Each structure stands twice: as structure tokens, then as C-alpha cells.
Structure 1
Amino acid sequence: MPRRRRIKAPVLSRLTWAWLGSLVLFAGAVGVFVYSARTGEGPGRIALPVDHIEIFARNTPPAPGTEERIEAPVLREPPAGAQQLAQAPSGEETEDGLVLIYPGANDLRTDEEDGLLYDESDLEPEDDGVRYSADDVIITIPGARKATSVTAASLTPVARPIPDPDSALLRVTALGKTPRVAADGRRPVSYYAKPFDGARSKPRVAIVVGGLGLNAAVTERAIDDLPPEISLSFAPYAKNLDFWTKKARDAGHEVLIELPMESYGANAQALGAAALLTSREPQENLQRLDWLLARFGGYFAATNYMGAKFSADADALAPILERLKNSGVGYVDDTGAAARSAGGLPLATVTRMIPAAIDDADLRQVQRELAALESAAERDGFALGKTYAYAATIDEIASWSRGLEKKGIAQAPASALLRTAAPGR
């Protein structure tokens, strides 16, 4: 019986099959590309500000025999050089298939209308104009429909920012721009105040933290660590006030300007050249007031720094408060004497002064004053505290604030406690 010969495919046939397989794969890729182009379900882009990136510490394996503890993620500032990296037109693919594109000056052009930068390649014909700035990281996510501008994620609720200075609420003087009532009736005391959404049936507590701007580290700590309901007051002689006050408003804090005033037994020279003194004529004090009010914009009220002697002199204080009233701003007084001269001015009087904590003994005093502030709020329905910025005081107030809700006390901004003073003395 003849042996059957095993039939082998010729070499040419194997090459043919390989070519056919390649053609099928190529056709499939073309089909995916065409489908994405027609349906818009291809990769899209999301704009994410570099300075809001949340950086988490990498987990390291625990040593054998030790207990592993998982800590809550900590939000940190981006590392040095992150802003410079954002300017480089480069990309980096992550393990999840996300592509981080850092747009540079060559990739972006300026929109003539709003001054923002955007990438022309990212604007589809049907797009309504997604804008990217040079500080954006653009994340390409497979399957996203179209470019979408989003806000960076956060572990804490995003505070509603306070508006930037409005030119309609400013008047030009020889010493700078000072606040005024707008032609449409808007007033800085309302426009720059933080809205209070809490239940007015609850006792309300407000706190003003002052002396900010003089120490950069403490100022940043107050802005970042204190809840946005805490009102922040800035020293007029500090540097970079426009920067710091904008940072505070962007974080949701309403801001005040401090007015250095003469006090008993204090060296008037230590209050600076713009101090308001009883020995000066009213016009001289008003001129210095204009310089103080022009130091920065966007504040809802002024507050005294020192000033027991000046506030007790009604003839000296009345022109100052009248100018504030006509300018549309409020006043927070910690001397208890301003109410006699504040006819028609939105005014709040401090209930308790909270000491600055330098050591443990001072910290215990801070705790006692905060407890007294709670008692005053429960008794009267509201209470206003004031202190000056020290790191330990800031930490204690931040910790204390977190427990107010459980006690049935609402934390309010200082503007929520302003009352219009009755006319006359």
C-alpha cells in the first residue's frame, strides 16, 4: 500500500497569509480612527492648573514585624520647578495611559478679547472655545469626548472666592485708589463681604485675625489653615499686600485693612508715619487715612490697630468714621468707644480679645478666651473675637473651629455681625 505524502503549504502561501493578517489589522486601525473622528469619542483634553496639583507621599512597605499605619493624604504645595515645567512643550505618559502635555509659549496664542492663552489645535469646529493658560497641565484621557475645563480636586470643600477689586468701587486720589460707593449703589462693605449661609437661629461666632502680611510664613499659614469663615486683617506697612490679599480672597476669606491709631502710654513713632494721632488736625489725619485706604483693594471694612486714646477722643475719631461711611466700608472696633461716633456706619464691636500664644501658658489663655467667646454667643446670640497672627494661635483657632458645629454654634464671617450704628453720639 503506497504511503500517503504529507501535504505542506508552499512558502509563498505562508507569506500570503501574513500579508493578509497585516492588512486586516491595518483596516481595523483605520476603522477605529474613522469612527473616533466621526463620533468625537476619541481622546479629549482636560485643563488642570499646575499650582493646584495635589501631591501625595508614596507608600513604602513596612518593615517585617511592624504595624503598618495608613495616614490621611496631605495636600502640599507643588515642588520647586513645577511652574517652569509647565512652560515646556513636552509630554509624559503615565502608567494609566494618561498623557500629560505641558503647553509652552510656542503651542499657545493669546485671545485678543480675554487675554487668555489657548491651543488652536484643541478647538474643534463645534467647540465653544475651551481656553487653556500656560499654567495648565492638559491631561489626555482615552475615550473622553471633548476638551473640558475642570477644577482641581480637593479633599476639602472649595470655598467661594471673594471678588477682586472692582474699578467702579474705587476713586482715584493723589495718594492712590481708595474705596467709594459705586454709581449703581454698590458698597464695598457688601460687595467684598463673605456671604453667610448659616442658620441665623443658632448662636454665631466670628473671629478676625490681624497683623497679617508682615511675616510671610505666618500669613500663608493663616490663609491656608484657617477656615474661610475667619476674617483676615492686613497691616498697612506690609509688603506685597496685593499678592497676599488676593490669595486670601481666593481662599474665601474676607479681608480688612488695619488703621494704626494712637494708644495710651505707647510711643506714637512706633505706629509709623501714617498713624492717626489726637495731636494732628482732622485734615492731617484724613490725608493719612487716604494713604492707608489705598494700600490695597478688595476689603469690606477697616479695623483699628491699638487706638484706645484716639478712639476715646470723639472729635478726632468722628471725621475718620465719617470718611469710612462715605466710602462705603464698615468698621470693626476693639476699643468699645467707636459706637458713640459712628452714626450710620456699619459697625461691629469686638466681644473678646484673644491673646497671641507664644508659649503653653499663653495657649491655655487662648483656650479660655475661645470658651468665653462661645459662652457670649450662647448668651447674646452672637460674639466677635479678635487676635493677632501667631503660629500657635492660628493652630488653636483652627482646631477649635472644627468643633463648633457639634456644639450647635455657627461660625460666621465678621461682616455678618456688622450693624448700622444709630446717628448721633
Structure 2
Amino acid sequence: MPRRRRMKAPVLSRLAWAWLGSVALFAGAGGAIFYFAQSGEGPGRIALPVNGIELFARAPTPAPGTEERIAAPALREAPSGGPQLAEMNPSAETEETEDGLVLIYPGENDLYAENENELLYEEEFPEGEYDDVAYSADDVIITIPGAKAKPVVAASLTRAVTPIPDPDSALLRSTALGKAPRIAPDGRKAVSYYARSFDGPRTKPRVAVIVGGLGLNTAVTERAIDDLPPEVSLSFAPYAKNLDFWTKKARDAGHEVLIELPMEGYGANAEALGAAALLTSRGAEENLQRLDWLMSRFGGYFAATNYMGAKFSADAAAMAPVLEKLRVAGVGYVDDTGAAARAAGGLPLATVTRMIPAAADDADRRSVRRELAALEQIAERDGMALGKTYAYAATIDEIADWAKTLEKKGVAHAPASALLRTAAPTR
């Protein structure tokens, strides 16, 4: 029987089959892309804020017997808010990892305007002057194959900050001079509502610091808000401009705030304290009128504190009406003269333990360190201590560095409000 020959497809037929297979493959891929685009189940772009953390590159597999390391690329600390630079950046660089993730980094021309919160470009900066401009917190976009696009909570190794509430209308009353604090109809008071929460262990000594004189110098005020830990309470001068802006910025950063009351001191020029100064030469009605103006300068403060005031505080007849008005308004008081407690019946009050010198330059840093160390010793002896100072750049730097050491020393860093005590009512 003759052997049957196997039929082979002609060359032309095999080429035709190859073309048909290619067309089918591309058609299938196109259909999948169309499906994912319509269903939203395709690769999703996820904005990953990276404020305060480092992005570690995956190290390559080392050769046998060797060990290799690569440095972690780090993003600079970023300002809050701002546009997502990665989504707006045509010069962004991308890197695909072996897991299929695509990292999109900002381009070199995308710089963040420190004051205007807007995107700037390299030609607007002279060479070398934009090296310290920070990226935004949304610098990296991660694309994950097959994932739906969704927002991601900010990832950070830093402790979350709880803002202090904005002024509540129920805690304000209208006066001829503006809004002033009052006790709300439901009983809430500014002294507790605007205080920073503190639940530190009672077994640890507590230490608190107030930095005052803020609002008068823009650079120093911003530095105090941004560089000091939120446990540091901030006190604002009543004559400063833009107090609503600065105090909101401070509260948003977690700082509780105070209003300063200029008061007559011994041997001081009363005129230097301004037109709203509280003076022993004025009657109670005149001082209370000025107090109305002072208390309406901004909202959201938990307490008032004196600026100068040793003579006025020592005069019980002059001081008592002022402290009573604060008590009725639901506001606390922090005194650095040591004399106000005699007239503070029923008012939540704290007395400053130690005045910390204001370091105008680096030469004064040693005295700041000495007083901060003394503050710790008092807290360890008495269970708590309250320091107060006025804002200078060197002082702010020293307090910021000192605050980082407290936890290791077993000292609880408390806000000033945690040291308030209600004075016994006077008879």
C-alpha cells in the first residue's frame, strides 16, 4: 500500500495564519484596555503623601560572597498643603519596579513657592537660590496595575498633630469693640475648650513652657509656630497685626494660645505699654474698658497672661476686677509676677515658676540652657514647673532642642493649660 503523504499548509497559508493571530491578539488587548478604562478597574494612580519620611530604594541582589548597599533617596520635609506637583509636572521622572509599581518623581523645575503656595519654575530663581525649596507632601504618585484609583492617608513617621478648635460662636459675645469670650449656654468655657489635651502619666513630673511676644515679628512668629513642638503654648501681643491669621496658624499646628495683657510694672514707662495698658493710676472702669478691647483682639485663646505688670498685679484693688472679668468670661490666667494669686478667687490660674531669658543671639544660649535645666529640677522636686520666655530665634532653637530630650529623662512635656489650678474663692 502506498504511504499516505502528510499534507502541509503552503507557505502563504502559514503567513496568513500568523497575521490573523496578531490581529486577534491586538483586538483582545484593545478590548481589555477599553474595558478597564470604562470600568475603572484598570491601573489606578494613587497619590501617596510622603511628608516626613524617606523612600527606600530596593537593593539589588548581591553577588555571592558580597554585600552591597544603596543609599535611600530622601525627600525634604514638605510644607503642608499645595498642589500635587507630580500630576502637573511634564518633566517628572518615572521608575518602574519589579513589582509593577511606577514611581513618578517631581521634575527638577517644580519648586514650591514658600509664601504664595504656587508652582514656580527654575527661570524665576537665580542659580543656586532654590536649593532649599521644599517639595510638596504629594510628590510621589504610585501606579498599581489592576488597582482602582483611590486616595491614601498621609504616611508619616512623625506624631500626628491634633489642631486646637477654631473660635466657636457659642463661646463669643458681641461688644462694641468686637467679639469677646464668654461662657457658652451649655456651660463650655474657653479655658478648657481651647486648651491642648494632655493625658500624661501622673507619676511623671510635668514641665510646660510659654513663648510670648508673638505676632510682632513675622519671621520669628512663623519660626515659633513651625519649629516648636505643639506642647509649647504660644502667647500673642495684642498690638500685633493679622492676629486672626497667626493664631489660627498656631492652633492648626497644635499650639494652644494666650492673649497678653500689658500691665504697669515698677520703674517702667507706662506710655511704652501702649494705649490699652492696665495702670494703677486708672480706675477700675477705665481699666475694664481697655480690657474689653484687649480681649476682643482675636478668638480661640484659653487664657490671658501679663506682659510686665509687677506693680499692677501687686495692687489687689486694681487686679481683682480684671481677674474677675476673666473668670466670668471663662478664661484662665497665667501670672509671672507671683502676686496675682491673692486676687484670683475662683479663677483657673497658673504661676510661672521660672522666667527663661530671651536669647537675642548665640551668646545668650548658655543662660537659656541653664534656666531650662533648672525648670526640669523644679518639676522633679515639686511635680510640675512652668517656664515663660519671649520669642527670639536663638531661644526658640534652644527650647526645640531641649524638648526632644524630655522623654528620655522621664519628664512629661505638658501644655501650660495642664498646670492651671482653680484658686479658692475669696471671701
Q: Is the 8 A contact 1:41 1:143 kept in 2?
A: no
> Which residue among 155, 162, 166 is the counterpart of 1:160?
162
> Which residue among 227, 237, 256 is the counterpart of 1:235?
237
Q: Give secondary structure in 1 for the equivalent of 2:366.
A: helix
Which amino acid letter does the alignment assign opposite residue 213 of structure 1? G
Which amino acid letter does the alignment assign opposite residue 285 of structure 2? Q
Q: Is the 8 A contact 2:53 2:74 kept in 1?
A: no
**In structure 2, distance between residues paired with 1:219 and 1:48:** 31
The reply to whether residue 374 of structure 1 matches residue 376 of structure 2 is yes
1:18 Cα shift?
2.5
Q: Give secondary structure in 2 for the equivalent of 1:339.
A: helix
**In structure 2, distance between residues paired with 1:245 and 1:371:** 29
Count of residues paired in the alignment = 372
Q: Is the 8 A contact 1:303 1:332 kept in 2?
A: yes
The reply to whether residue 176 of structure 1 matches residue 178 of structure 2 is yes
Aligned match of 1:398: 400
1:141 Cα shift?
3.2
1:25 Cα shift?
2.5
**In structure 2, distance between residues paired with 1:71 and 1:397:** 30
1:309 Cα shift?
1.0
**In structure 2, distance between residues paired with 1:418 and 1:326:** 16
1:100 Cα shift?
9.5
Aligned match of 1:21: 22
C-alpha distance after superposition, 1:35-87 (max 9, x if no partner) = 6755x5334465678xx966989xxxxxxxxxx99897641448xxx95887x
Q: Give secondary structure in 1 for the equivalent of 2:235.
A: strand
Pair 43,327 (structure 1): closer, same or farther in 2 beyond 3 Å: farther
Q: Is the 8 A contact 1:92 1:100 kept in 2?
A: no
Pair 136,144 (structure 1): closer, same or farther in 2 beyond 3 Å: farther
**In structure 2, distance between residues paired with 1:70 and 1:99:** 16
Aligned match of 2:334: 332
1:179 Cα shift?
0.8
Aligned match of 2:323: 321
Aligned match of 1:30: 31
Q: Give secondary structure in 2 for the equivalent of 1:405.
A: coil
1:414 Cα shift?
0.3
Percent of matched pairs sharing the same residue: 67
Q: Give secondary structure in 2 for the equivalent of 1:198.
A: coil
Q: Is the 8 A contact 1:161 1:251 kept in 2?
A: yes
Aligned match of 2:94: 95
**In structure 1, distance between residues paired with 2:19 and 2:421:** 86
Q: Give secondary structure in 1 for the equivalent of 2:424.
A: coil
Which amino acid letter does the alignment assign opposite residue 94 of structure 2? E
> Which TM-score applies when normalising by structure 1?
0.78
Q: Give secondary structure in 1 for the equivalent of 2:94.
A: coil
Which amino acid letter does the alignment assign opposite residue 21 of structure 1? S
1:20 Cα shift?
3.0
Aligned match of 1:110: none
**In structure 2, distance between residues paired with 1:70 and 1:90:** 23
1:252 Cα shift?
0.9
Q: CA RMSD in A?
A: 3.5
Q: Give secondary structure in 2 for the equivalent of 1:376.
A: helix
Pair 35,136 (structure 1): closer, same or farther in 2 beyond 3 Å: closer
The reply to whether residue 420 of structure 1 matches residue 422 of structure 2 is yes
Which amino acid letter does the alignment assign opposite residue 363 of structure 1? R
**In structure 1, distance between residues paired with 2:36 and 2:153:** 30
Which amino acid letter does the alignment assign opposite residue 353 of structure 2? T
1:293 Cα shift?
1.2
**In structure 2, distance between residues paired with 1:318 and 1:278:** 12
Deviates more, 1:338-347 or 1:154-163: 154-163
Aligned match of 2:247: 245
Q: Give secondary structure in 2 for the equivalent of 1:252.
A: coil
Which amino acid letter does the alignment assign opposite residue 187 of structure 2? G
1:243 Cα shift?
1.4
5+ long unaligned stretches in structure 2: 1-7, 56-69, 96-101, 107-136
Pair 98,19 (structure 1): closer, same or farther in 2 beyond 3 Å: farther
1:194 Cα shift?
0.6
Q: Give secondary structure in 2 for the equivalent of 1:141.
A: strand
1:321 Cα shift?
0.6
> Which TM-score applies when normalising by structure 2?
0.77
Q: Is the 8 A contact 2:45 2:144 kept in 1?
A: no
